[in-house]
Amino acid sequence: MALRDRWNNRFAFVMAAVGSAVGLGNVWRFPFVCYDSGGGAFLIPFFVALFTAGIPLMILEYALGQRMQGSAPHALFKVSQIRKAERRAKDPKKSSPNWEWVGWWALLVGSTISFYYAVIMSWAFNYLYHSLKVSWAGNESGFFYQTFLRLSEGPGVLGGVSLPIVIGLAITWILIYFIISKGVGRVGKVVMITVPLPVLLMVILVIRGVTLPGAIEGLSYYLTPDFSKLLDPKVWLAAYSQVFFSLSLGFGILIAYASYMPKDSEITNNAFLTSLADAGISFLGGFAVFSTLGYLTQATGSPITEVAKGGPGLAFVIYPTVISKLPWLQGFFGVVFFLMLLTLGIDSAFSIVEGVCTGIQDKWGLHRHKSKVAFVFCLVGFIIGLLFCTKGGLYWLDIADHWVNNFGLAVVGLFECIIIGYFFNIGAFRKEINSVSEIQLGKWWEITIKYFTPLVLVIFLIWNIVTEIRTAYEGYPLWALILGGWAVSIGAIVGGIILMKIRTKHREEFNV
């Protein structure tokens, strides 16, 4: 059997994990959740969520990947096998379920993210080019929705694909293929650039932002604490959801990354380092965004409530508006901003692809054929991504994104907690983690994984399901929500079970 691929060192692994965590969400999600949910006061629920769910779950994912030396499906398969053997030893008639399908499900839902994340990268590539001429000047929103996306009237009208977006998508997938096809050695080198570079660019934008008139007002919208918001349960749910999304939990990415570390490597301190770096960069992202929004409200007279919008609207409409209103070097700041988005996003995008490819390699013993597996996945990703390059693409992207963040992630996280908390010897697992780690985990970790995190996730899910049933998301037609949301989730469960049922020769070696 071929030896498992390895990171060059611990630093490369941590940087890659930070690269996955730090993405578009740090710029276009965190600052707005913060602004909406009590400004500076939001840091309280955010850090509570980080310490009571984000970090414990990250430790769990790192430990699973590392101790089981496998991606999500493989690690959960091994966990199930170990449990089965333990039960059989006591009573030969006893059995225990195989949880491998949960791992596949995570990877299938994660793949959906990679399909649309790559399209957003393509937009950023196009805008990088347009920055040189500040093509959007004068009519930023018209440029994005009409000239660039040629947006149709609804998800039912797809229209043709847009060639520049397809070209950008092809470039993105070729880059992803190039980075991951040679194993984690190359990934480890690439992240030495794609992690610090966007932070440096962000610092340039912060400096530009805070030296603009109106910046202080903008920052006060971002940070002025409104402690009364802490009584609103929605604010707490927002904090947990932001922490999960931002740390890239629940899609098997961190499990796959950790599986390329030797079995006896440090775990807990790595998780603290990754999470705190991610939190710090989110906080900094808010400074870049809100200082410039303050400038915009001053320059245009529009109230902050009108300009403070997250998501693609921020990156492709609001920020370009600010850029065309800058007194000098507009093109330069356009390039800085879109290069920042690209370098922020690319390592999140390839981390998902790495997670899926590792899953396939582990199941079929294809580690020596890494580049072929990567090639096929990237090609499939490109073809599926064409849907999002059509005139109706933005609607589908929005539906897929909403679904994944509101349901996919929480369900996988919940399963992970239940499997390790109730179908595995979590006490022994904690001891194993402690035996290799710099920071010792107390009993609190077990309690969190068994009771607290699942409870939060169940509340989160029930809340989201009720909201979903009460109001159609963004007023989309029901058929589109069913097709883009429910059908994809159910399809991923069926797909996960089918993949679990496939028996491979390689796998037999592990049967207990």
Of residues 37-76, those binding ligand PFF (CB under 6 A): none
* Distance (Å, whole) CA 303 – CA 110: 37
Q: How far is the CB of 26 from ligand PFF (least distance, A)?
A: 6
In contact, 203 and 281? CB cutoff 8 Å: no
List all residues 6 or more positions away from 139 whose beta carbon is below 8 Å from its beta carbon.
none
Spell out, one character per residue from 295 to 334, where the chain touches ligand PFF: x when CB under 6 A holds, - when not.
----------------------------------------
Q: Are 503 and 511 a contacting pair, CB within 8 Å?
A: no
> Which range touches ligand PFF (CB under 6 A), out of 21-29, 224-232, 306-314, 331-339?
21-29
For residue 187, give the DSSP letter: H
Contact indicator for 23, 345 with CB cutoff of 8 Å: yes
Nearer of residues 348 and 390 to ligand PFF, judged by Cβ: 348
Burial class for 356, CB neighbours closer than 10 Å (0-12, 13-18, 19+): buried
Return d(Cα 319, Cα 311) in angstroms, integer.
11
Taking the C-alpha atoms of residue 488 and residue 494, their distance in angstroms, rounded to an integer, is 10
The verdict on 289 binding ligand PFF (CB under 6 A) reads no
Cα 170 to Cα 187: distance, rounded to the nearest angstrom: 20
- Nearest to ligand PFF of 267, 356 (CB atom): 356
At closest approach, how far in Å is the CB of 291 from ligand PFF? 21
Reduced to 3 states (helix: H, G, I; strand: E, B; else coil), residue 384 is helix
Taken in order 224, 230, 235, 241, the sign of the CA dihedral is positive
Find the binding residues for ligand PFF in span 341-370 (CB under 6 A).
Answer: 348, 352
Least Å from the CB of residue 343 to ligand PFF: 12
- What is 458-493 written as a DSSP string? HHHHHHHHHHHHHS-GGG--HHHHIIIIIHHHHHHH
Number of residues in contact with ligand PFF, rule: CB under 6 A?
15
Signed CA dihedral, 384, 387, 393, 398: sign only:
negative
Q: How far is the CB of 286 from ligand PFF (least distance, A)?
A: 13
Instruction: Tell which positions 22-41 bind ligand PFF, by CB under 6 A.
Output: 23-26
CA-based nearest residue to 370, from 54, 4, 15: 4
Site for ligand PFF in 235-254 (CB under 6 A): 245-246, 248, 251, 253
Closest distance between ligand PFF and the C-beta of residue 413, in Å? 12
- Under 8 Å between Cβ of 364 and 2: no
Q: Please list, in sequence order, all residues whose beta carbon lies within 8 angstroms of the beta carbon of residue 450, skipping any fewer than 6 positions away.
A: 417, 421, 422, 426
CB-CB contact of 499 with 101 (8 Å): yes
CB of 61 to ligand PFF, least distance (A): 11
Q: Which of residues 75-134 bind ligand PFF (CB under 6 A)?
A: 110, 113
SS3 390: strand
How deeply is 132 buried, as exposed, middle or buried, from its count of CB atoms within 10 A (0-12, 13-18, 19+)?
Answer: exposed
What is the rounded distance in angstroms from the CA atom of residue 29 to the CA atom of residue 223? Answer: 15
Minimum Å gap between C-beta 244 and ligand PFF is 9
Task: List contacts with ligand PFF (CB under 6 A).
Answer: 20-21, 23-26, 110, 113, 245-246, 248, 251, 253, 348, 352
